[in-house]
Chain A
Amino acid sequence: MIIQLDQGSGGRAMHELIDDIFVSALQNPLLAERNDGAVFEIQGGRMAMTTDSFVVDPIFFPGGNIGSLAVHGTVNDLAMCGAKPLYITAGFILEEGLACSDLRIIVASMAKAAQEAGVQVIAGDTKVVPRGKADKLFINTTGVGIVPAGIDIGGRNARPGDLVFINGTIGDHGMAVLCKREGLAFENEIQSDAAALNGLVELMLDAYCGIHVLRDPTRGGVATTLNEIAEQSGVGIRLFEEALPVREDVLGACEVLGFDPLYVANEGKVLAVVPQKGADAVLAAMKSHPLGRASCLIGEIVSDDPGRVFLRTMIGGHRLVDMLRGEQLPRIC
């Protein structure tokens, strides 16, 4: 066996790779939980820690670049643990020949993104590799944050009866990057939704601290993320087709290219699994935040079909919504 591209695209193949090689060799209970970050006890509280690598191609895309994306992605992984993100480190792998002016712009947008998200970049590393041994630049980050007392968020916590919310339209980031990369022009340029979600999440947790699961549906999209939650929690998830928010231009691009928005990456979206008694408060909090104006209910947790996600179609039929298979969109983050 050799590594194939689809093993990096966030779907089933990547999960099998992670289980087969990493989780089994590294044998760690926190790692085995397979959340976006790990939460552990330290003296006087709990800390969340995460790491992420960014290889997006092209490095500049409508709505962001690899630098701002690195900060947003890392901040979001921490926010999805219910943590308040504090510090980030960044390692850069630069390809010989990269324009300094590009690097300058990218690092400046990192600084801006970090400032807006209220995190500090406190350590870094830089390596340069010969031309062709990397593609322009890759960034690896680590992020740490503090988890306030009384919060227990994790992919294993979804329970039948819970409701599933999202803070806006799906598939924007993946289609923005793909259209840019392939030089596809539709009427308007599709903008990535990349954004730091910690402010929004903080409001949601203030409104109701008993939220069960928070996840950002990045690679593999909403479908893959919900499958992860269904598997981790041993529950079924039912989505409502008519409720899924998709921008018209994203839908149009998806139709032309044969993609399903449910599998297209997001970088500024959060899926929240909330017990019914907190649902109204959480939805109201989401809608009060600029990144959550279009928040809505898209599904529910059920006890049937544990580990699987179904969609109730507009006409009342049902279909299985599986994890992403194959390399739908490589290198979107």
Chain B
Amino acid sequence: MKYLDEYRDPQLAKNLIERLRRKAFPKGEIRLMEICGTHTVAIFRSGLRELLPPQIKLISGPGCPVCVTANEDIDRAIWLAEQPGVIITTFGDLVRVPGSSSSLHLKRSTGADVRIVYATLDALQIARENPDRQVVFIGIGFETTAPTIAAAVQQASELGVRNFSVFSAHKLLPPAMRTLLDAHEVKLDGFICPGHVSIVIGAGAYQEIADNYKVPCVITGFEHLDILQGICSLIDQVESGRAEVENRYRRAVTWEGNSAALRLIDEVFEPVDCTWRGIGPIAKSGLGFRPGWKMFDAADRFSMPDIRVKEHPGCRCGEVLRGVMTPPECGLFRKVCSPRDPKGPCMVSGEGTCGAYYRYHKDSGQSSVASG
């Protein structure tokens, strides 16, 4: 990991923390939202929260794809898993997310054929190996995963694989950021923009948010130095009254993004309205199949019944995803809801805010290790 060592240098990190601690914060509390779950986890894993001055509040946002997948979409995936002869393929965490009354995980334990894959092309391979079965890939994720799925669909088309389809629950992040700002539910002074998503969409994608909402956007990587530098840039911008897009992840992110990946998405998918768990419907925030690719759309291939969803009554995932409250404020947190028996998606995913708090947050005896 020599390549990453320069972004992990502990002494440089300590210097930056010192710099932040010496600041006066004349404008009072500064609230920064890390959009993406990978940042949430990285922040917890570095123990950064307890080292920042109390005036800097880090708020976790909606950037965990599993967490924002609508309950009805989970229910539809579960319905698909129940259909005879169907093999469901998907990425790890999704299988444990509770829908209205079950999960893919439970369905698998009672005989449904649900397989976890590491790449969409593996799902296509499963389809080729099982020509008499229908193989459905449950596609969740943001702009990061969409290109790989578009590529798999194109490959299926070239190879003439007819038993492969995708249930697309993909989501686009910038529309969700705008929705959070429009709602005025939480005061946000800046965004720590997602690293991986930005590789695809480019830093330029946030310009409009910075301009129209006067909220600074900084793109950072995932090492503790990356994140700290991002926080410093945001604080500098807030203190000097600027709202700009700053790319602090230049080793991976360009202004324009990855044009090949964007083209792939655009060839197969088009923006559609879609529902986010906890946030609700957002215009043009999802990806649906373009007319020419509908034959790979699982929603088209199977005639799905109308789904009536039921949320767990006590679960506050919505508020957590919108940054309105923190997981320990939820009455079910740790008491009833745990990664073993999750009541909401935020507890399931490795990148979910509730899961991250559960796994890493030192919520008692705070003082006892402060000396270490």
Contact = CB atoms under 8 A, between A and B. Distances in A.
A320 interface: yes
A312 B51 contact: no
Interface in B303-352: 339-340, 350
B10 A315 contact: yes
A315 B118 contact: no
Contact of A238 (B51, B92, B105, B372): B372
B6 to A, nearest CB: 13
B14 A257 contact: no
A315 B96 contact: no
A325 interface: yes
Nearest to B9: A314
A317 B227 CA distance: 14
Contact of A242 (B10, B105, B109, B340): B10
B224 interface: yes
A29 interface: no
Contacts of B365: 304-305
A296 B286 CA distance: 50
Given A238-B369, A325-B339, A316 B47 contact: yes
A326 interface: yes
Contacts of B92: 258
A312 B359 contact: no
A313 B224 CA distance: 10
A148 interface: no
Contacts of A316: 10, 14, 17, 47, 51
A252 interface: yes
A317 B46 contact: yes
B339 A326 contact: yes
Interface string A294-333: 0000000000110000111111111110100110000000
Interface residues of A, number: 32
B362 A320 contact: yes
A12 B368 CA distance: 25
Which of B8, B47, B358, B368 gathers most chain A CB within 10 Å?
Answer: B47
Given A2-B110, A258-B350, A317-B51, A312 B340 contact: no
B79 interface: no
B25 interface: no
Interface in B282-306: none
A258 to B, nearest CB: 7
A182 B47 contact: no
A107 B372 CA distance: 50
Contacts of A319: 44-47, 360-362
Contacts of A258: 92, 350
Contact of A312 (B109, B110, B372): B372
B30 interface: no
Contacts of A248: 1-2
B14 A320 contact: no
B287 to A, nearest CB: 23
Nearest to A248: B1
A257 B117 CA distance: 11
Interface string B44-62: 1111111100000000000
Nearest to B92: A258
A4 interface: yes
Contacts of B44: 319
A316 B228 CA distance: 14
B13 interface: yes
Contacts of B17: 315-316
Contacts of A322: 358-359
A244 interface: no
Given A238-B372, A314-B8, 14 more contacts: A248-B2, A304-B369, A312-B47, A313-B45, A315-B10, A316-B17, A316-B47, A317-B48, A318-B362, A318-B369, A319-B47, A322-B358, A322-B359, A326-B96
Interface of B: 1-2, 8, 10, 13-14, 17, 44-51, 92, 96, 105, 109-110, 118, 224, 339-340, 350, 358-362, 364-365, 368-369, 372
Interface of A: 2-5, 12-13, 16, 182, 184, 238, 242, 248, 251-252, 257-258, 304-305, 310-320, 322, 325-326
28 contacts: A2-B110, A3-B109, A184-B118, A257-B118, A258-B92, A304-B369, A305-B368, A305-B369, A313-B45, A313-B46, A313-B224, A314-B10, A314-B224, A315-B10, A315-B14, A315-B51, A315-B224, A316-B10, A316-B17, A316-B47, A317-B47, A319-B44, A319-B360, A319-B361, A320-B359, A320-B361, A320-B362, A326-B340
